[in-house]
Amino acid sequence: MTSHAARYLEPFDLDVTLRDAALDEQNRPTRRMLANAAIGMHVEDAYYSVRELREAVSWTHEGEIGGKRKLAAILSNPNGDDFQRCIYFSLAGRSIVEMLDDLMWLEDILEARGRIAGQIHRQKIRPLPLVAPYVADEPDGPVVAATEDFRQGRSWWADPDLQA
């Protein structure tokens, strides 16, 4: 890429897709909340946090051995990630189908964001600084109990879109 072309791209806003998704009235409110929650998050941290959470929710829903333990560990880790808790509780209580669909949607956006970050780095294009949305690296306030035998309520089994 020539320096002339780079001039039009610098500084590149890695959060532009998240900002667009957060403002798009065609997106479900949960997706708009998720996009807002991810703005400013470190590129790799955001992607891997959402991927890990989506896997744990999926495993729990599918009855995989260790799925509930993994989800409880994510939500109860005293040294863990408030971002993951924010994402989870933005979706908690919704149908599991919608929850997983929204998590996969966010995971796809964050994966693409990471790929773009790698491309602009290789092309020596300067990104806009990410402004961390969290003021502390450790959880702030109470965390969920670490028990893996939590009750899975109606949202884990009932999908309102499928009911007649």
What is the pTM assigned to this prediction?
0.83
List helix spans (H) across the chain.
3-9, 16-23, 29-38, 43-62, 67-76, 82-91, 96-122
In a domain, 137, yes or no: no
Contact predicate 11/117, CB 8 Å: no
Say if residue 114's pLDDT is above 70: yes
Contact predicate 143/76, CB 8 Å: yes
Which domain range does residue 109 map to?
Answer: 10-130+147-157
Say if residue 68's pLDDT is above 60: yes
In a domain, 139, yes or no: no
In a domain, 4, yes or no: no
pLDDT reported for residue 121: 92
Say if residue 54's pLDDT is above 80: yes
In a domain, 135, yes or no: no
Q: Which of 159, 53, 69 is nearest to 107 (CA)?
A: 53
> How far is Cα 29 from Cα 23, in angstroms, rounded to an integer?
10
Integer-rounded Cα Rg, in Å, for the chain is: 18
Q: pLDDT grade, residue 1 (50/70/90)? A: very low
Q: Tell me the pLDDT of the chain averaged across its residues.
A: 86
In a domain, 19, yes or no: yes
Q: How many domains is the chain built from?
A: 1
